Amino acid sequence: MAEPGFWDNRESAMKTITKNKQIQAWLDPIRELESKLDNVNIAIELLESGSDEELLNESSSSLTVIDMKLDRLEFIQMLAGPHDRDNAILTIRSGAGGQDSQDWAEMLMKMYIHWAEKQEFDIEVLSVSEGGTEGGIREATLTIKGPWAYGYLRAEGGIHRLVRKSPFDQNHRRHTSFASVFPLPDIEEEIEVDLRDEDIRIDTYRASGAGGQHVNKTDSAVRMTHIPTGIAVTCQNQRSQFRNREVARRILRARLYELEEEKRREEKAKLEKTKKDVSWGHQIRSYVMHPYRMVKDHRTGMETSSIDDFLSGGIQAFIEEYLRKSSQQ
């Protein structure tokens, strides 16, 4: 970065800066630990020459902090997948359950936004398909930017099931709703994905819903279809058609990459004679609000009764438990 001409190619320079940030995200905690250990070693030498209760207590506290930070580093080391350090594109879709399902999908979207805020990640809502007249969403796509964002969120992929008394049922009967969560790595341009212009069909139309004066007046919304696979993405949240095209292309690139990854996973599953069923009814996690309150992860057995805290973004412990168990398999 200190070399002359570093900024001559801005795109290359920005990639280098991003790579540097990723390295520093790993090295800075190690340097901090080394500094704290040096201080503890100095304290031990002083304590050997005479007792000092205040220094002893301070050193004990430092060792506790070191142990916690070391445990964190050991956990991060498990996030060693090829894209675990990448930003994430997260898609949430409502499933079986009608209006309740659309409301549940919106609750999940807010949960992940709160979680990302707690991690001090950057969040951008790329696209939202609104639900019925009573609110909720049919689908939403977010980008979450931060160190190991995809590494964490890959633990959330699958079917999420909610059981509660429906606020949309006049008789307040208990309803079961489903929503699916799909995390994808936000693939950088240098990752080769076969996305040729001649294979893309682009349709434009007038955006709908809230969004400003351009809505319903210009054809700013974009639907981008990859003809060979039939994969289609839409984006209408940005103010210009050009920006909507950019965002749609990013999402399409990520979904094509995931399609190729899925092909490889399926081939590996055939060889190992194991196939994971992710159909409706095979949820990874259940959220129960009635007749009792509980969140349970069916993959790890971990559960909590603090469902309000969980839906406010307190999901990190569940993410880490799943990643620890999956790394041991």
Q: Quick one: pLDDT band at residue 50, thresholds 50, 70, 90?
A: confident
142 and 182 in a single domain? The answer is: yes
Give pLDDT, residue 206: 76
How far is Cα 84 from Cα 281, in angstroms, rounded to an integer? 28
The residues near 196 (Cβ < 8 Å, ≥ 6 apart) are none
Per-residue confidence (pLDDT) for residue 208, from 0 to 100: 66
CATH code for the domain in which residue 254 is found: 3.30.160.20
Cis peptide before 4 (omega within 30 of 0): no
**Directed axis angle between helix 10-48 and helix 53-77, to 10°?**
150
Q: Is residue 249 part of a domain?
A: yes
Q: 204 and 265: one domain?
A: yes
Positive or negative: CA dihedral 66, 322, 148, 142: negative
What confidence score (pLDDT) does residue 21 get?
Answer: 80
Q: What is the pLDDT of residue 86?
A: 87
127: nearest Cα among 218, 248, 261 = 248
Task: Report yes or no on 281 lying in a domain.
Answer: no
- pLDDT for 28-41, tens place per residue? 888 999 999 999 99
pLDDT over 70 at 212, yes or no: no
Kindly state the tokens that stand for 249: 């292309």
Q: What are phi and psi of 153, to 5 degrees?
A: -75, -20
Of 49-58, 87-96, 118-127, 200-209, give the lowest mean pLDDT range.
200-209
Q: What is the DSSP letter of 199?
A: G
- The CB-side HSE value for 204 (13 A sphere, CA atoms) comes to 12
Query: Residue 249 pLDDT > 70, yes or no?
Result: yes
Whether residue 180 is found in the same domain as residue 298: yes
**Over 60: is that where the pLDDT of 302 sits?**
yes
Answer whether residue 64 shows pLDDT above 60.
yes
33 and 173 housed in the same domain = no
Separation CA 186–CA 206 (nearest Å): 27
Residues 262 and 314 in one domain: no
Q: Are residues 181 and 310 in the same domain?
A: yes
Within a domain: 285: no
The DSSP 8-state label assigned to residue 274 in this structure reads -
Asked if residue 96 and residue 169 are part of one domain, the reply reads yes
**Is the residue at 179 inside a domain?**
yes
For residues 159 and 25, membership in a common domain is answered with: no
pLDDT tens per residue across span 106-136: 999 999 999 999 999 999 999 999 887 788 9
Residues 97 and 177 in one domain: yes
pLDDT confidence of residue 214: 45
Model pLDDT, residue 271? 45
User: According to the model, what pLDDT value does residue 112 have?
Assistant: 98
CATH value at residue 106: 3.30.70.1660
Domain end point (choices 42, 77, 112): 77
84 against 82, higher pLDDT: 84
Does residue 72 share a domain with residue 93? no
Count: domains in the chain: 3
Mean pLDDT of the residues in the chain: 85
Same domain for 181 and 208? no
- Asked if residue 275 has pLDDT above 70, the reply is no
Between 92-101, 174-183, 209-218, 243-252, the lowest mean confidence (pLDDT) is in 209-218
Answer yes or no: is 243 within a domain. yes
Its domain, for residue 17, covers: 6-77
pLDDT given for residue 264 in this prediction: 67
120 and 98 assigned to the same domain = yes
Position 268 pLDDT exceeds 60: no
The answer to whether residue 204 sits within a structural domain is: yes
Reported confidence tier of residue 329, pLDDT bands at 50, 70, 90:
low
Within-domain flag for 280? no
- Residues of the chain above pLDDT 90, percent: 42
Is residue 19 in some structural domain? Answer: yes
The tens digit of pLDDT for each residue in 153-206 reads 999 999 999 999 999 888 889 999 999 999 988 876 444 566 788 899 999 887
